[in-house]
Structure 1
Amino acid sequence: MGNSQNVTIKGTKDGLLLRLDDTCSFSTLLKEIKETFTSHAHMYDAKHEVHIHVHSGNRFLTEEQIAQIQAVIDPNRNLIVDSVDSNVILKEEAERMIQENRMTLIHNVVRSGQLINISGDLLLIGDVNPGGMVMASGNVFILGKLKGIAHAGCLGDTSAVICASQMTPTQLRIGDLYRRSPDRDELPTEAECAYIDEKHDLIIDKLSVLKKIRPNLNRFAEGGILHG
Protein backbone atom coordinates (compact mmCIF):
# COMPACT_ATOMS: atom_id res chain seq x y z
CA MET A 1 0.00 0.00 0.00
CA GLY A 2 2.81 2.37 0.84
CA ASN A 3 6.56 2.30 1.37
CA SER A 4 9.45 4.41 2.60
CA GLN A 5 12.98 3.35 3.40
CA ASN A 6 12.09 2.31 6.94
CA VAL A 7 8.27 2.13 6.99
CA THR A 8 5.94 -0.22 5.13
CA ILE A 9 2.14 -0.07 5.21
CA LYS A 10 -0.01 -2.97 4.10
CA GLY A 11 -3.79 -3.19 4.03
CA THR A 12 -5.38 -6.19 5.78
CA LYS A 13 -8.94 -7.31 6.45
CA ASP A 14 -8.57 -5.89 9.97
CA GLY A 15 -7.11 -2.51 8.96
CA LEU A 16 -3.47 -1.61 8.36
CA LEU A 17 -0.24 -3.42 9.14
CA LEU A 18 2.62 -1.02 9.82
CA ARG A 19 6.06 -2.64 9.61
CA LEU A 20 8.94 -0.64 11.07
CA ASP A 21 12.65 -1.05 10.37
CA ASP A 22 14.58 -1.92 13.53
CA THR A 23 18.01 -0.58 12.51
CA CYS A 24 17.43 3.15 12.05
CA SER A 25 17.16 5.69 14.87
CA PHE A 26 13.76 6.17 16.48
CA SER A 27 13.71 9.86 15.49
CA THR A 28 14.25 8.88 11.83
CA LEU A 29 11.47 6.33 12.17
CA LEU A 30 9.02 8.89 13.57
CA LYS A 31 9.81 11.30 10.74
CA GLU A 32 9.21 8.66 8.07
CA ILE A 33 5.99 7.44 9.71
CA LYS A 34 4.64 10.98 9.65
CA GLU A 35 5.70 11.51 6.03
CA THR A 36 4.19 8.20 4.96
CA PHE A 37 0.78 8.85 6.50
CA THR A 38 0.74 12.47 5.36
CA SER A 39 1.35 11.42 1.76
CA HIS A 40 -1.56 8.98 1.95
CA ALA A 41 -3.95 11.24 3.88
CA HIS A 42 -6.36 11.39 0.94
CA MET A 43 -6.93 7.61 1.23
CA TYR A 44 -8.41 7.71 4.72
CA ASP A 45 -12.04 8.50 5.50
CA ALA A 46 -12.24 10.72 8.56
CA LYS A 47 -15.72 9.38 9.31
CA HIS A 48 -14.53 5.82 9.91
CA GLU A 49 -11.89 4.47 12.26
CA VAL A 50 -8.94 2.61 10.74
CA HIS A 51 -7.23 0.18 13.08
CA ILE A 52 -3.47 -0.21 12.85
CA HIS A 53 -1.28 -3.09 13.96
CA VAL A 54 2.40 -2.21 14.39
CA HIS A 55 5.25 -4.70 14.07
CA SER A 56 8.63 -3.30 15.11
CA GLY A 57 10.91 -6.26 14.34
CA ASN A 58 13.80 -6.48 16.79
CA ARG A 59 13.10 -3.03 18.22
CA PHE A 60 11.38 -2.88 21.63
CA LEU A 61 9.02 0.08 21.86
CA THR A 62 8.28 1.70 25.20
CA GLU A 63 4.83 3.02 26.08
CA GLU A 64 6.11 6.56 25.48
CA GLN A 65 7.42 5.65 22.03
CA ILE A 66 4.12 3.98 21.11
CA ALA A 67 2.32 7.17 22.16
CA GLN A 68 4.69 9.21 19.95
CA ILE A 69 3.93 6.96 16.99
CA GLN A 70 0.20 7.36 17.56
CA ALA A 71 0.68 11.14 17.75
CA VAL A 72 2.51 11.42 14.41
CA ILE A 73 -0.02 9.12 12.72
CA ASP A 74 -2.60 11.65 13.91
CA PRO A 75 -5.61 10.25 15.81
CA ASN A 76 -7.76 13.10 14.40
CA ARG A 77 -7.88 11.09 11.18
CA ASN A 78 -9.37 8.18 13.13
CA LEU A 79 -6.22 6.14 12.65
CA ILE A 80 -5.93 4.10 15.83
CA VAL A 81 -2.91 2.03 16.90
CA ASP A 82 -4.58 -1.10 18.28
CA SER A 83 -1.61 -3.35 18.96
CA VAL A 84 2.17 -3.45 18.84
CA ASP A 85 4.25 -6.61 18.36
CA SER A 86 7.99 -7.15 18.25
CA ASN A 87 10.46 -10.03 18.23
CA VAL A 88 11.84 -9.04 21.63
CA ILE A 89 10.50 -8.92 25.17
CA LEU A 90 11.72 -7.41 28.42
CA LYS A 91 13.99 -9.47 30.64
CA GLU A 92 11.31 -9.50 33.34
CA GLU A 93 8.74 -10.87 30.90
CA ALA A 94 11.16 -13.57 29.70
CA GLU A 95 11.87 -14.62 33.28
CA ARG A 96 8.13 -14.78 34.02
CA MET A 97 7.52 -16.96 30.95
CA ILE A 98 10.34 -19.34 31.92
CA GLN A 99 8.97 -19.56 35.45
CA GLU A 100 5.43 -20.26 34.24
CA ASN A 101 6.48 -22.89 31.70
CA ARG A 102 8.93 -24.86 33.81
CA MET A 103 8.11 -28.18 35.46
CA THR A 104 8.81 -28.87 39.11
CA LEU A 105 9.37 -32.50 40.10
CA ILE A 106 8.49 -33.46 43.66
CA HIS A 107 8.86 -36.98 45.06
CA ASN A 108 6.71 -36.99 48.16
CA VAL A 109 3.38 -37.92 49.74
CA VAL A 110 1.19 -34.89 50.42
CA ARG A 111 -0.48 -35.60 53.74
CA SER A 112 -3.52 -34.03 55.41
CA GLY A 113 -2.91 -30.36 56.15
CA GLN A 114 0.00 -30.05 53.73
CA LEU A 115 0.01 -27.72 50.72
CA ILE A 116 2.28 -27.65 47.67
CA ASN A 117 2.01 -24.48 45.59
CA ILE A 118 4.36 -23.97 42.65
CA SER A 119 4.73 -21.78 39.56
CA GLY A 120 4.60 -23.67 36.27
CA ASP A 121 3.76 -27.36 35.88
CA LEU A 122 3.87 -29.79 38.79
CA LEU A 123 4.92 -33.42 38.44
CA LEU A 124 4.28 -35.16 41.76
CA ILE A 125 5.55 -38.71 42.29
CA GLY A 126 3.45 -39.79 45.23
CA ASP A 127 -0.08 -39.65 46.58
CA VAL A 128 -2.17 -36.68 47.65
CA ASN A 129 -4.02 -37.85 50.74
CA PRO A 130 -7.41 -36.53 51.91
CA GLY A 131 -6.86 -33.10 53.45
CA GLY A 132 -3.75 -32.51 51.33
CA MET A 133 -3.65 -30.01 48.48
CA VAL A 134 -1.46 -29.34 45.44
CA MET A 135 -1.59 -26.15 43.38
CA ALA A 136 0.19 -25.04 40.21
CA SER A 137 -0.12 -22.11 37.84
CA GLY A 138 0.22 -24.68 35.03
CA ASN A 139 -0.67 -28.35 34.77
CA VAL A 140 -0.75 -30.89 37.61
CA PHE A 141 0.53 -34.42 36.92
CA ILE A 142 0.33 -36.94 39.76
CA LEU A 143 2.03 -40.32 39.53
CA GLY A 144 -0.01 -41.72 42.35
CA LYS A 145 -3.43 -41.50 43.96
CA LEU A 146 -5.20 -38.15 44.08
CA LYS A 147 -7.50 -38.27 47.12
CA GLY A 148 -7.16 -34.67 48.27
CA ILE A 149 -7.49 -31.37 46.39
CA ALA A 150 -5.71 -30.46 43.15
CA HIS A 151 -5.82 -26.97 41.62
CA ALA A 152 -4.31 -26.45 38.16
CA GLY A 153 -4.15 -23.07 36.43
CA CYS A 154 -4.48 -21.40 39.81
CA LEU A 155 -3.60 -18.00 38.32
CA GLY A 156 -6.40 -18.26 35.75
CA ASP A 157 -5.08 -20.62 33.06
CA THR A 158 -8.22 -22.49 31.97
CA SER A 159 -6.26 -24.61 29.45
CA ALA A 160 -4.42 -26.37 32.29
CA VAL A 161 -5.14 -30.01 33.07
CA ILE A 162 -4.97 -32.34 36.06
CA CYS A 163 -3.82 -35.93 35.53
CA ALA A 164 -3.51 -38.72 38.07
CA SER A 165 -2.81 -42.43 38.08
CA GLN A 166 -5.94 -42.82 40.23
CA MET A 167 -8.43 -39.96 40.32
CA THR A 168 -10.58 -39.97 43.47
CA PRO A 169 -10.18 -36.35 44.64
CA THR A 170 -11.96 -34.48 47.36
CA GLN A 171 -12.13 -31.58 44.92
CA LEU A 172 -10.69 -30.58 41.54
CA ARG A 173 -10.08 -26.98 40.52
CA ILE A 174 -8.97 -25.52 37.21
CA GLY A 175 -8.85 -21.74 36.95
CA ASP A 176 -11.95 -20.56 38.82
CA LEU A 177 -14.00 -23.73 38.20
CA TYR A 178 -14.25 -26.59 40.64
CA ARG A 179 -16.04 -29.90 41.08
CA ARG A 180 -16.06 -32.77 43.50
CA SER A 181 -15.15 -36.32 42.63
CA PRO A 182 -17.91 -38.19 40.79
CA ASP A 183 -19.72 -40.97 42.63
CA ARG A 184 -18.22 -44.31 41.64
CA ASP A 185 -19.18 -47.86 42.49
CA GLU A 186 -15.59 -48.96 41.91
CA LEU A 187 -12.23 -47.24 41.99
CA PRO A 188 -10.86 -46.25 38.57
CA THR A 189 -8.42 -48.80 37.17
CA GLU A 190 -6.65 -46.46 34.73
CA ALA A 191 -5.20 -42.97 34.72
CA GLU A 192 -7.58 -40.08 34.14
CA CYS A 193 -7.40 -36.37 33.43
CA ALA A 194 -9.52 -33.34 34.19
CA TYR A 195 -9.89 -30.35 31.88
CA ILE A 196 -12.24 -27.53 30.93
CA ASP A 197 -14.11 -28.20 27.70
CA GLU A 198 -15.48 -25.81 25.07
CA LYS A 199 -18.69 -25.40 27.10
CA HIS A 200 -16.62 -24.25 30.09
CA ASP A 201 -17.45 -27.38 32.07
CA LEU A 202 -14.86 -29.19 34.17
CA ILE A 203 -14.68 -32.72 32.76
CA ILE A 204 -13.05 -35.92 34.05
CA ASP A 205 -12.14 -38.39 31.31
CA LYS A 206 -9.66 -41.07 30.28
CA LEU A 207 -6.08 -39.90 29.93
CA SER A 208 -6.13 -40.86 26.24
CA VAL A 209 -8.29 -37.81 25.41
CA LEU A 210 -5.26 -35.58 25.97
CA LYS A 211 -4.08 -36.57 22.51
CA LYS A 212 -7.06 -34.74 21.08
CA ILE A 213 -7.79 -31.89 23.49
CA ARG A 214 -4.20 -30.97 24.49
CA PRO A 215 -1.90 -32.42 21.79
CA ASN A 216 1.13 -30.60 23.21
CA LEU A 217 0.76 -32.70 26.38
CA ASN A 218 0.52 -35.99 24.51
CA ARG A 219 3.97 -37.09 25.69
CA PHE A 220 2.47 -37.90 29.10
CA ALA A 221 -0.16 -40.16 27.57
CA GLU A 222 1.97 -41.85 24.91
CA GLY A 223 4.93 -42.43 27.19
CA GLY A 224 2.77 -44.21 29.73
CA ILE A 225 4.12 -41.94 32.45
CA LEU A 226 0.81 -42.08 34.31
CA HIS A 227 0.17 -45.77 33.81
CA GLY A 228 2.52 -47.12 36.42
Structure 2
Amino acid sequence: MDYGPYTNEAIDTISEIRETIKFTLNNTDLHDATALVGGVTAGIKDLLDTQRNDFIFIIIIVIGAIYIILALLMRSLVSPIYMVGTIVLSFATTMGITYAIFKYAFGYEGLVSTVPIYGFVILIALGVDYNIFLMSRIRYEFESGKTTKEAIRDGLSVTGSIITSCGIIMAGTFAAFLVSPMKTFLELGVAIVVGLILDTFIIRTLLVPSIAIKVGELNWWPKRKIRVTSESRTKQK
Protein backbone atom coordinates (compact mmCIF):
# COMPACT_ATOMS: atom_id res chain seq x y z
CA MET A 1 0.00 0.00 0.00
CA ASP A 2 1.09 3.56 -0.72
CA TYR A 3 -0.74 5.11 2.24
CA GLY A 4 -0.33 4.95 6.02
CA PRO A 5 -2.42 2.94 8.47
CA TYR A 6 -4.22 6.03 9.80
CA THR A 7 -5.44 7.41 6.48
CA ASN A 8 -9.00 7.28 5.20
CA GLU A 9 -7.88 5.05 2.33
CA ALA A 10 -6.48 2.47 4.75
CA ILE A 11 -9.64 2.54 6.85
CA ASP A 12 -11.80 2.03 3.75
CA THR A 13 -9.59 -0.88 2.74
CA ILE A 14 -10.55 -2.76 5.92
CA SER A 15 -14.13 -2.99 4.69
CA GLU A 16 -12.94 -4.33 1.35
CA ILE A 17 -10.74 -6.92 3.05
CA ARG A 18 -13.58 -8.10 5.29
CA GLU A 19 -16.00 -8.35 2.39
CA THR A 20 -13.44 -10.27 0.33
CA ILE A 21 -12.79 -12.74 3.14
CA LYS A 22 -16.51 -13.25 3.72
CA PHE A 23 -17.16 -13.82 0.02
CA THR A 24 -14.21 -16.24 -0.27
CA LEU A 25 -15.25 -18.33 2.75
CA ASN A 26 -18.82 -18.65 1.48
CA ASN A 27 -17.54 -20.73 -1.43
CA THR A 28 -15.58 -23.15 0.75
CA ASP A 29 -16.14 -25.66 3.55
CA LEU A 30 -15.34 -22.84 5.97
CA HIS A 31 -18.49 -20.87 5.17
CA ASP A 32 -19.59 -21.14 8.82
CA ALA A 33 -16.23 -19.91 10.12
CA THR A 34 -15.75 -16.47 11.61
CA ALA A 35 -12.86 -14.46 10.16
CA LEU A 36 -11.57 -11.39 11.99
CA VAL A 37 -9.36 -8.59 10.71
CA GLY A 38 -7.22 -7.02 13.42
CA GLY A 39 -4.60 -4.35 13.72
CA VAL A 40 -4.51 -0.62 14.42
CA THR A 41 -6.40 0.37 11.28
CA ALA A 42 -9.16 -2.17 11.90
CA GLY A 43 -9.49 -0.91 15.48
CA ILE A 44 -9.84 2.68 14.26
CA LYS A 45 -12.52 1.65 11.79
CA ASP A 46 -14.49 -0.22 14.46
CA LEU A 47 -14.24 2.80 16.76
CA LEU A 48 -15.48 5.15 14.02
CA ASP A 49 -18.36 2.83 13.19
CA THR A 50 -19.38 2.68 16.84
CA GLN A 51 -19.18 6.46 17.18
CA ARG A 52 -21.27 6.91 14.05
CA ASN A 53 -24.00 4.59 15.30
CA ASP A 54 -23.97 6.18 18.75
CA PHE A 55 -24.13 9.66 17.20
CA ILE A 56 -27.23 8.74 15.21
CA PHE A 57 -28.83 7.36 18.39
CA ILE A 58 -27.92 10.54 20.31
CA ILE A 59 -29.42 12.75 17.60
CA ILE A 60 -32.71 10.85 17.62
CA ILE A 61 -33.03 10.83 21.41
CA VAL A 62 -32.02 14.48 21.88
CA ILE A 63 -34.23 15.84 19.11
CA GLY A 64 -37.19 13.77 20.28
CA ALA A 65 -36.78 14.87 23.90
CA ILE A 66 -36.37 18.52 22.92
CA TYR A 67 -39.49 18.45 20.76
CA ILE A 68 -41.58 16.99 23.59
CA ILE A 69 -40.27 19.57 26.08
CA LEU A 70 -40.90 22.45 23.68
CA ALA A 71 -44.38 21.16 22.85
CA LEU A 72 -45.28 21.07 26.55
CA LEU A 73 -43.76 24.47 27.18
CA MET A 74 -45.33 26.20 24.17
CA ARG A 75 -48.56 24.19 24.38
CA SER A 76 -48.30 23.74 20.64
CA LEU A 77 -47.36 21.01 18.18
CA VAL A 78 -46.41 23.33 15.32
CA SER A 79 -43.90 25.88 16.61
CA PRO A 80 -41.58 23.22 18.15
CA ILE A 81 -41.15 21.73 14.67
CA TYR A 82 -39.37 24.73 13.19
CA MET A 83 -37.71 25.52 16.52
CA VAL A 84 -36.01 22.11 16.46
CA GLY A 85 -35.49 22.29 12.70
CA THR A 86 -33.59 25.57 12.88
CA ILE A 87 -31.37 24.21 15.63
CA VAL A 88 -30.45 21.19 13.51
CA LEU A 89 -29.92 23.46 10.48
CA SER A 90 -27.63 25.68 12.53
CA PHE A 91 -25.58 22.68 13.67
CA ALA A 92 -25.28 21.23 10.16
CA THR A 93 -24.22 24.59 8.73
CA THR A 94 -21.71 25.04 11.53
CA MET A 95 -20.10 21.67 10.86
CA GLY A 96 -19.90 22.47 7.16
CA ILE A 97 -18.22 25.82 7.79
CA THR A 98 -15.84 24.31 10.34
CA TYR A 99 -14.88 21.51 7.97
CA ALA A 100 -14.27 24.02 5.18
CA ILE A 101 -12.06 26.16 7.42
CA PHE A 102 -9.77 23.31 8.44
CA LYS A 103 -9.87 21.64 5.02
CA TYR A 104 -9.05 24.62 2.82
CA ALA A 105 -7.32 27.00 5.23
CA PHE A 106 -5.20 24.54 7.22
CA GLY A 107 -5.05 21.53 4.90
CA TYR A 108 -6.61 19.02 7.33
CA GLU A 109 -8.14 15.88 5.86
CA GLY A 110 -11.18 16.24 8.08
CA LEU A 111 -12.40 16.87 11.60
CA VAL A 112 -11.63 14.74 14.63
CA SER A 113 -14.40 12.15 14.92
CA THR A 114 -15.51 13.31 18.37
CA VAL A 115 -15.90 16.99 17.41
CA PRO A 116 -19.34 16.64 15.76
CA ILE A 117 -20.65 14.71 18.78
CA TYR A 118 -19.44 17.22 21.36
CA GLY A 119 -20.39 20.12 19.12
CA PHE A 120 -23.90 18.77 18.64
CA VAL A 121 -24.57 18.41 22.36
CA ILE A 122 -23.22 21.87 23.22
CA LEU A 123 -24.76 23.79 20.33
CA ILE A 124 -28.13 22.10 20.65
CA ALA A 125 -28.24 22.91 24.37
CA LEU A 126 -27.40 26.57 23.79
CA GLY A 127 -29.73 26.86 20.80
CA VAL A 128 -32.66 25.46 22.77
CA ASP A 129 -32.07 27.96 25.57
CA TYR A 130 -32.22 30.89 23.15
CA ASN A 131 -35.26 29.40 21.41
CA ILE A 132 -37.16 28.99 24.65
CA PHE A 133 -36.27 32.50 25.77
CA LEU A 134 -37.45 34.04 22.49
CA MET A 135 -40.60 32.00 21.90
CA SER A 136 -41.75 32.16 25.53
CA ARG A 137 -41.69 35.93 25.30
CA ILE A 138 -43.54 35.86 21.98
CA ARG A 139 -46.25 33.66 23.48
CA TYR A 140 -46.50 35.98 26.48
CA GLU A 141 -47.00 38.95 24.15
CA PHE A 142 -49.61 36.98 22.17
CA GLU A 143 -51.57 36.04 25.27
CA SER A 144 -51.53 39.69 26.34
CA GLY A 145 -53.93 40.46 23.50
CA LYS A 146 -51.62 41.17 20.57
CA THR A 147 -51.77 39.59 17.14
CA THR A 148 -49.17 36.97 16.28
CA LYS A 149 -47.22 39.40 14.12
CA GLU A 150 -47.23 42.06 16.81
CA ALA A 151 -46.25 39.50 19.44
CA ILE A 152 -43.28 38.36 17.35
CA ARG A 153 -42.16 41.94 16.75
CA ASP A 154 -42.40 42.96 20.39
CA GLY A 155 -41.01 39.68 21.70
CA LEU A 156 -37.98 39.98 19.45
CA SER A 157 -37.42 43.61 20.40
CA VAL A 158 -37.44 42.71 24.10
CA THR A 159 -35.23 39.61 23.94
CA GLY A 160 -33.04 40.46 20.94
CA SER A 161 -30.39 42.45 22.79
CA ILE A 162 -30.24 39.92 25.63
CA ILE A 163 -29.87 36.93 23.30
CA THR A 164 -27.23 38.76 21.28
CA SER A 165 -25.27 39.67 24.42
CA CYS A 166 -25.46 36.09 25.72
CA GLY A 167 -24.30 34.72 22.37
CA ILE A 168 -21.31 37.06 22.23
CA ILE A 169 -20.31 36.26 25.82
CA MET A 170 -20.58 32.49 25.25
CA ALA A 171 -18.64 32.74 21.99
CA GLY A 172 -15.92 34.68 23.78
CA THR A 173 -15.79 32.07 26.51
CA PHE A 174 -15.37 29.14 24.13
CA ALA A 175 -12.88 31.14 22.07
CA ALA A 176 -10.34 30.15 24.73
CA PHE A 177 -10.21 26.76 22.96
CA LEU A 178 -8.67 28.46 19.92
CA VAL A 179 -5.28 28.75 21.60
CA SER A 180 -5.18 25.07 22.54
CA PRO A 181 -2.41 23.00 20.92
CA MET A 182 -4.71 19.97 20.92
CA LYS A 183 -6.45 19.45 17.59
CA THR A 184 -9.70 18.29 19.19
CA PHE A 185 -10.08 21.40 21.36
CA LEU A 186 -9.06 23.69 18.50
CA GLU A 187 -11.65 22.26 16.12
CA LEU A 188 -14.32 22.18 18.83
CA GLY A 189 -13.59 25.79 19.74
CA VAL A 190 -13.96 26.93 16.14
CA ALA A 191 -17.18 24.94 15.74
CA ILE A 192 -18.77 26.37 18.89
CA VAL A 193 -17.75 29.96 18.12
CA VAL A 194 -19.03 29.71 14.55
CA GLY A 195 -22.24 28.03 15.74
CA LEU A 196 -22.94 30.64 18.40
CA ILE A 197 -22.36 33.54 16.02
CA LEU A 198 -24.55 31.92 13.39
CA ASP A 199 -27.26 31.09 15.89
CA THR A 200 -27.21 34.50 17.56
CA PHE A 201 -27.17 36.80 14.54
CA ILE A 202 -28.97 34.76 11.87
CA ILE A 203 -30.99 31.81 13.17
CA ARG A 204 -32.52 33.33 16.28
CA THR A 205 -32.66 36.95 15.07
CA LEU A 206 -33.85 36.48 11.49
CA LEU A 207 -34.82 32.91 10.57
CA VAL A 208 -36.99 31.87 13.54
CA PRO A 209 -39.04 35.10 13.65
CA SER A 210 -39.49 34.98 9.86
CA ILE A 211 -40.82 31.43 9.98
CA ALA A 212 -43.07 32.30 12.91
CA ILE A 213 -44.59 35.19 10.95
CA LYS A 214 -45.20 32.96 7.92
CA VAL A 215 -46.80 30.26 10.07
CA GLY A 216 -49.05 32.86 11.70
CA GLU A 217 -51.87 31.66 13.92
CA LEU A 218 -50.85 28.03 13.39
CA ASN A 219 -47.98 28.71 15.81
CA TRP A 220 -50.40 28.01 18.65
CA TRP A 221 -52.15 24.93 17.21
CA PRO A 222 -53.90 22.88 18.49
CA LYS A 223 -54.68 24.92 21.59
CA ARG A 224 -54.94 28.65 21.92
CA LYS A 225 -55.32 30.28 25.26
CA ILE A 226 -58.17 32.80 25.43
CA ARG A 227 -56.71 36.27 25.16
CA VAL A 228 -57.98 38.86 27.59
CA THR A 229 -58.05 42.43 26.24
CA SER A 230 -58.79 45.69 27.91
CA GLU A 231 -62.04 45.93 25.94
CA SER A 232 -63.35 42.63 27.35
CA ARG A 233 -62.43 43.72 30.86
CA THR A 234 -64.45 46.93 30.38
CA LYS A 235 -67.51 45.02 29.23
CA GLN A 236 -67.30 42.69 32.20
CA LYS A 237 -67.33 45.65 34.58
Give the TM-score taking structure 1 as reference length.
0.29
- More strand by percentage: 1
Higher-RCO chain (CA-CA 8 Å, sequence separation at least 6): 2
